[in-house]
Structure 1
Amino acid sequence: MSAFSAARSRLVPGLLVSSAVLLVPAVAAAQVAEPVAETSEVDALDAAPAAEEERRVRSITVRGNERLEPETVASYIGLSAGEPYDRNRLDTALKSLYATDLFADVTIRDRGGDLLVEVQENPVVNRIILEGNRRVKEDKIAPEIRLAPRQIFTRAKARSDVARIVELYRRQGRFAAAVEPQIVPLDQNRVDVVFEITEGPKSKVKRINFLGNEQFGDGKLRGEIATRESKWFRLFTSNDTYDPDRSAYDQQVLRQFYLTEGYADFRVASSVAELTPNNEDFVLTYVIDEGERYNFGEVTLESEIRDIDETSFRALIGIQDGDVYNAKRIEDTITVLQETAGLLGYAFADVQPQFTRNREDLTMDVAFVIREAPRVYIERVDINGNVITRDKVVRREFRLVEGDAFNTFKVKRTQARIQSLGFFQEDLEIEQKPGSGPDKVILEVNAQEQATGELQLSAGFSSLERFLVSASIRQRNFRGLGQELRASANISSYSKSVDVGFTEPYLFNRNLALGFDVFRRDFNSFNFNASGNRNTTYEQVTTGLQLRTGFPITEFWSASVRYNLQLDDISLPLNASRFTDFNGDGEFTEDECDPIRSGRFLCDALGKRTTSAIGYSLAFDNTDNRIRPSRGQRVVFSQDIAGLGGIKYLRSQIDADKYFRIGRSDFIVGVGLEAGYITGYGGDDIRINDRYFLGEPRMRGFDIRGVGPRVIRNRYIPATADGDGNLPDGAIAVPDLNGSPGFVVIDTNPDRQQDDSLGGQAYYLGRVEMQIPLGEGVAELGIRPSIFVDVGALWDVDFDPDSQLINRPTFDVQRFVDADGDGRPDEDADGNRITETVGTPGFREQFFGDSPKPRVSIGIGASWNSPFGPFRFDIAKALLSEPGDDTQLFQFNVGTSF
């Protein structure tokens, strides 16, 4: 062999090796074509250049495919029989097969034009399994996973899903979270994909540092930002976890704070979040540049609108030369100028502040320029989002209609009236959009309806009523017409009531409301006998009907008229006490009131009485939201006069509330005062069921009917001397019917004490309550905490304690026996009524509470729009009370919406 031939022999393997290397793809598992073994070394050497130029595909064979057809695999190569090919085209074919994400491994072998394609298909996902996720539920993680059952599995997709799950945990403040994908092979080339999640603890903010702050301390700046340092007492907040988005927000908050303090050049130079050495917590460091403090220089106003008087509008600015520069005051001034221009019909008044920074004397000149704008008219009113509520229900609250001149005040008033319906979300706004021309505007309401049905349940416990339950159902938007339909029921140890009502707010599409109420109330008064068992003293049944109508007088004044018809039946229970010889003279009186059992003050109320009363109310209301007001006032004066048959009385009542914000903060204060007085005429006294009562829930810190005049009755019980012949303290010697002496003492057990509230003819109640904002996060949860003070009193009852109180330590009576409970005395075989002698030691009655002296309570409370309905609790401490008042520390109310 010549030297040249030898050189060529050494070159051929090198070329073949080079060809193989060039055909290797990026994926490590790829394999490349083999050289043709059948050709002799010389033939191969001689044919190599020609084969490289003229090589053509003779056939394509696919092996290893299970789900895919061979023709499908071959179609991805981009080659067919008879086509020429080279190393580059084979390399492209190999990459094309990998690009389909259908194969885990691919090899293309070149056998002299016969291409052998060997593939290993990617498995199919059978199911996705999550393990270890306790803090983040599966329904939160599932949307982040792109792999799904019956899809082709690739490791690239799995890595992408891992990254998304880790990012989800980081958004939850868990930066130590780790996710490990595990592949479980199954038959038929299927796999289960298991994401093993190690959640790790929440990454807390251990410390917040500030560098460069000279005018304000670290504590002041920490109080301004949303992020909080992790402390043991911060149990119900997530603001102490690290969140990059919150950190970026805090930088804006810092800038806003400094701009309100006059530092116009303030900037945050850098913000760094560093993990602690244990990789669990973060240390935040803000490097800030405060700059110099500026004051307002010259403040001017220019108007390009002819109808706007610059002199009059200048008084609206409220910024004086020399005041500390405050960016918030500039924003507020722009809003005031735009709203005032809107009153003149300029909906799109453009107010632009122009600043001139004077670094020499550190002043900021501001020129407010009101740009030229046309007077605007209402072109159209669009209402969106009202799925249940009829369109006319929203439109009738509009103070503007198509064709009216635009007016900012009327737009805001319309917004307040729509929000006061209580049918839509709280942040409802009326958007102003350009119309078909520069002088036209479209008012668009994008409403989001909320639940208007209310199912409310409340429970409580009191010394008087024991356990009590109240349930009510109410639909404030019945049939989407704004009608109100309600029903309620209350049951306790001694009372039951049912109330059904309906109100049509716009009768015959006119601004005239009409409604009615039908109610029935059963009340059983009781005390306790010597055995501690409850003993019913009298029964009261009240059945009534009320018709009412209301209409507006002006935008803020309204009036209503009502008629009430009520029948009261107060009687004794059907038991043996109705046939009692009260004075021991042998004369038995049927249907007689037993003062020992019922109390002397109740005996005068027995019988059936009718109340026919007509009343009116006059109201002023300019609150921004009737359901949850934040500003404005509401005053209602009402009177009812009874005497159109039956009982005669005059009832007068006033109720006033005012709401306002403290400065520019979110602290909302509500101040309320109500008072009432009822008096009889024509010789009629005020009965107990017509009097006022005061206590929970209107006056917190006191029990139901816990304030005002009351009679407390304690039993006398027999007393005996001890071994030395000494009687207990307070023992009283009394004779019995046989003439032998005996002794009794007061039973001091409060469970056997009868506490009867008498009500009063006059009352007043004042309250001051301040809502405390706890940040946007808490507000979004619907939690509104507050602190409050209640002041009130109830007095003036027609009751003479000297003539009516009972203080008889012995009271033996003869009583007929009514064993079968049919309300008639039993008789013996001869037809004689059967009697028995009952010895009753008696009662001591004490009269308390008839005083206008104020009772005062202070407390905290919170309302929460919880997922299962509205919830309200109050903790109140009575600071001032009178003897006999019943206090209560805690009360709650819970319901649900639908």
Structure 2
Amino acid sequence: MDDNNMTYDERHVEARKTLLSTSVFKPAAMAVFLGFSAASLAVPGAAQAQSYAFNSVQIEGLDTIQASTVMSYLGFGRGEQVSAGELNDAYQRLVGSGLFDKVEISPRGGTLVVKVTEFPLINRINIEGNKRLKDDELLELLQSRARYVFNPAVAERDAQAIAEAYGDQGRLAAQVTPRIIRRPQNRVDLVFEVVEGKNSDIERITFTGNRAYSDGRLRRVIESKQAGILRFLISNDTFDPDRIEFDKQLLADFYASRGYVDFDAVAVTSEVPAQEDGFFVSYEIREGQKFSFGEITTVSEVDGIDPAAFEDLARIGSGSTYNPAVVERAIARMEKEAQQQGFGFVRVDPRVTRNEREGTLDIAFAIVRGPRIVVERIDIEGNETTLDRVVRSQFTTVEGDPFNPRAIRAAAERIRALGYFANVDVQAREGSAPDSVVVDVDLEEQGTGSFSVGGTYALGDGIGFMLSFSERNFLGRGQYLSLEFAGGLDKRTYSFAFAEPALFGRDLRLGLNASYNETTWASGLFDTRRGVLTPSLEFPLSETGRVRVRASGELTDILNYTGTSAIIAAEEARGLQIGGGAGFTYSFDTRRNGLESPSFFFAQVSGDVGGLGADNQFVKTTALANFTTKALNEDVTLSATVEGGALVSVGGAGSRVVDRFMMNPDQLLGFASYGQGPRDLTAADDDALGGNYFGAARLEAQFPLGLPEEYNISGGVFGHVGSVWGLDSSPGVDDTFHLRASVGAAIYWDTPIGPLRFSYAYPVRKQAYDIEQRFGVSISTGF
């Protein structure tokens, strides 16, 4: 057999033959030889018969390794007394050094002869057959190195490391074979031949023991997905044991937030059935009893603290579903209040009393003295790009503050939520003294920028082209930067956005937005151009409420009007308008409290004063409220939305069509863009004018269609009502309030490019001049 192109397995057979002669028969022969020598020397005494002294050590076969290295592994020098056992230990040390392919030790009178065959040096390392993982990624995993001694055991471990890397990518069947190609001067090329194999997909995910929630609902909780028709785009349908463990924690968090405090994922089994090429994963779970909050009390064991002052901070209603996150947030508020009152080293201990029969948990928040431990320092490592101050801004604790484990855990969650890091590990250890701790923050950064090229589609605007660049951690400062162009036949938009989320190290967001938009009226009657520059500041008012204040500069123009409406013609004649303004937006979102809940409420109110410097000043206000909840064991999502707005001219020539409200199809399905609202009945085309007021209400239900969850397709029904009305002056115009309404059905598809909605809406109440649009395709809106 050609020894220059042997596989590792073939080399392993030859090595075993050699080891049989060296590691088994040679020590045995040596033991026999030493035995006879001992017998011949038995007269002076047993101790003398069991030991040897070598006047010289003769080492043969060395090429690149020094004789002193061999002597160091022998562990004895010339003339020293050596027993048979010590000689065998020396032999084992040489074999275990990893430097030699063969080792022989032969005592010859007063001379010890050591014959070795060195392992070759690695000339270079190649990886062949890999496509999914690049050479650079795999070479980092290897312990073998070029210009170092080749060791078959190390090469075998390297092959296993490469196979495990493929396993992490879902290719559990990947095979890696190490080969050596001999070169002159006792050198070899080490080649790892990779057969990647196919992805090990998850064909089915099932649950046993679940009564409160269906398999479909639980499959939407976990990160692992079943392989579906889009398996080539989705990586979470590949089997990954680590992801399975993470899914168990997601299930535990899901059930805990819904009152199932005794939930347990008893077992998870994964198997590949006969004649199948994918895994079947089954979760055996125990839901336990559902609990609600019972009696909520506050007690103090600290002199000077009145528990009555802390009771309102709990904000927990008896009878509501128990959620440990609610308890944690109540504790955080109470401990923060204690610090503000000047009480350091205070902890709030939740003492829980179970009432199995009533299914309630009584919570007594006990204010107690905590250990007098301070934070010595916060060490941050692994952030090669992100500045330390960006990470430190997520901590409410600084050096010298009392150590609060809950505050440290909360900071760790905020760091993870930034999205800058692939891995975040925050641990506390003892500092330079027993009463101090050091907080270690170990980070692994990930890419935060994106460049996108693609197509766009919107009702009324048609198909377009989109080009965008965004960076969520600009220059490692935690700043947001975005540049975007979107355009088509009827619309072109250029936009720029910049945000500093932590101005002066506080929860104060500085924003700067600029956009320039050119449009062609949907009916081809006129064109518009509009430019807006808006600096803003945003800050919290509460856990769930935020305020954004802004200034604005705006230019608008109407051009190339070809219709017959005297109203629009007069508005075009006013020419380019440049004005400034100021405004605010208050938003309330219950999801900001970080609680996993099947229901949430969102509300937003905006007010603006504009047109300063233009020929018309106005006050504009809008409001929106949405309540979304899940019903029927969270398989059905119900949503109710109301919104409205008003535009009031303060003086001058009045509003223009580009300033007034025109509801789009997403706000009132069944009608085209600019398809309903005030009309100039004197114009030949009944031109849409928009209105100074609008209002709309929407009821929607979304539910599963019985299709496999991995398709991410669900159905829905809806009912919409609304209207646009009112103008400053309206001769020959129908601007009265006419209610429009529509009902219909929709298909929702959560695709890799975003949630799409395919809808059919039938207008049940309309005006004769309204323009219908029954079929619609759009990106689903959210709050």
Report the TM-score range of the alignment, normalised by the length of the smaller protein. 0.5 to 0.7
CA distance in 1: counterparts of 2:659 and 2:30, whole angstroms: 105
- Structure 1 residues 766, 309: closer, same or farther in 2, change over 3 A? same
TM-score (norm 2): 0.64
Residue in structure 1 matched with residue 155 of structure 2 by the alignment? 158
- Post-superposition shift, 1:27? 5.5
Residue in structure 1 matched with residue 307 of structure 2 by the alignment? 308
Question: What is the one-letter code of the residue matched to 1:243?
Answer: P
- Structure 1 residues 425, 759: closer, same or farther in 2, change over 3 A? farther
Is 1:243 equivalent to 2:241 in the alignment?
yes
Q: Note the 1:290-329 alignment, pairs <5 A.
A: 303=299, 305=301, 307-308=306-307, 329=322
CA distance in 1: counterparts of 2:431 and 2:68, whole angstroms: 61
Is contact 2:610–2:617 with CA below 8 Å preserved after alignment?
yes
Q: Secondary structure at the match of 2:338?
A: coil
Is contact 1:875–1:890 with CA below 8 Å preserved after alignment?
yes
Q: Note the 1:549-564 alignment, pairs <5 A.
A: 560=549, 562=551
Question: What is the one-letter code of the residue matched to 2:105?
Answer: I
Is 1:373 equivalent to 2:368 in the alignment?
yes
Residue in structure 2 matched with residue 353 of structure 1 by the alignment? 352
- Structure 1 residues 520, 873: closer, same or farther in 2, change over 3 A? same
What RMSD, in angstroms, separates the aligned Cα atoms of the two structures? 7.1
Q: Note the 1:769-808 alignment, pairs <5 A.
A: 791=720, 795-796=724-725
Question: What is the one-letter code of the residue matched to 1:349?
Answer: V
Residue in structure 2 matched with residue 655 of structure 1 by the alignment? 623
CA distance in 2: counterparts of 1:627 and 1:332, whole angstroms: 9
Is contact 1:464–1:755 with CA below 8 Å preserved after alignment?
no
Q: Note the 1:204-603 alignment, pairs <5 A.
A: 235=231, 236=234, 238=236, 241=239, 243=241, 246=244, 250=248, 268=266, 276=273, 303=299, 305=301, 307-308=306-307, 329=322, 331=324, 334-335=327-328, 338-339=331-332, 341-342=334-335, 344-345=337-338, 348-353=347-352, 370-371=365-366, 373-374=368-369, 459-460=455-456, 468-469=464-465, 491-493=487-489, 560=549, 562=551, 566=555, 568=557, 570=559, 603=569
- Post-superposition shift, 1:67? 1.6
Question: What is the one-letter code of the residue matched to 2:695?
Answer: Y
Is contact 1:389–1:477 with CA below 8 Å preserved after alignment?
no
CA distance in 2: counterparts of 1:351 and 1:143, whole angstroms: 48
CA distance in 2: counterparts of 1:602 and 1:479, whole angstroms: 48
Question: What is the one-letter code of the residue matched to 2:123?
Answer: N
Q: Secondary structure at the match of 2:185?
A: coil
Residue in structure 1 matched with residue 8 of structure 2 by the alignment? none
- Structure 1 residues 703, 639: closer, same or farther in 2, change over 3 A? same
Residue in structure 2 matched with residue 751 of structure 1 by the alignment? none
CA distance in 2: counterparts of 1:517 and 1:153, whole angstroms: 60
Q: Secondary structure at the match of 1:95?
A: helix
Q: Secondary structure at the match of 1:98?
A: helix
Is 1:26 equivalent to 2:23 in the alignment?
yes
- Post-superposition shift, 1:711? 9.6
- Structure 1 residues 422, 661: closer, same or farther in 2, change over 3 A? farther
Provide Cα deviations, 1:485-517, integer angstroms capped at 9, x if missing partner. Answer: 876655543565666788899999999999988
Is 1:620 equivalent to 2:607 in the alignment?
no
- Post-superposition shift, 1:859? 4.9
Is 1:147 equivalent to 2:144 in the alignment?
yes
Residue in structure 2 matched with residue 675 of structure 1 by the alignment? 644
Residue in structure 2 matched with residue 607 of structure 1 by the alignment? 573
Residue in structure 2 matched with residue 106 of structure 1 by the alignment? 103
Find 1:638's aligned residue among 603, 607, 612.
607
CA distance in 2: counterparts of 1:618 and 1:201, whole angstroms: 55
Q: Secondary structure at the match of 1:694?
A: coil
- Structure 1 residues 786, 305: closer, same or farther in 2, change over 3 A? farther
Provide Cα deviations, 1:453-477, integer angstroms capped at 9, x if missing partner. Answer: 8877664467976654455667888
Find 1:122's aligned residue among 119, 122, 125.
119
CA distance in 2: counterparts of 1:505 and 1:261, whole angstroms: 35
- Post-superposition shift, 1:152? 2.0
Residue in structure 2 matched with residue 884 of structure 1 by the alignment? 771
Q: Secondary structure at the match of 1:349?
A: strand
Residue in structure 2 matched with residue 763 of structure 1 by the alignment? 694
CA distance in 2: counterparts of 1:210 and 1:473, whole angstroms: 42
- Post-superposition shift, 1:156? 2.4
CA distance in 2: counterparts of 1:621 and 1:297, whole angstroms: 29
Q: Secondary structure at the match of 1:691?
A: coil
CA distance in 2: counterparts of 1:392 and 1:248, whole angstroms: 27
CA distance in 2: counterparts of 1:467 and 1:859, whole angstroms: 21
Is contact 1:415–1:428 with CA below 8 Å preserved after alignment?
no
CA distance in 2: counterparts of 1:624 and 1:260, whole angstroms: 16
Range 616-625 or range 272-281, more displaced: 272-281
Provide Cα deviations, 1:718-777, integer angstroms capped at 9, x if missing partner. Answer: xxxxxxxxxxxxxxxxxxxxxxxxxxxxxxxxxxxx99765444433556789999xxxx
Is contact 2:201–2:279 with CA below 8 Å preserved after alignment?
yes
Aligned length in residues = 723
Q: Which runs of 5+ in 1 are unaligned?
A: 1-22, 528-535, 573-593, 716-753, 805-846, 894-898
- Post-superposition shift, 1:449? 9.2
- Post-superposition shift, 1:373? 0.9
Is contact 1:876–1:890 with CA below 8 Å preserved after alignment?
yes
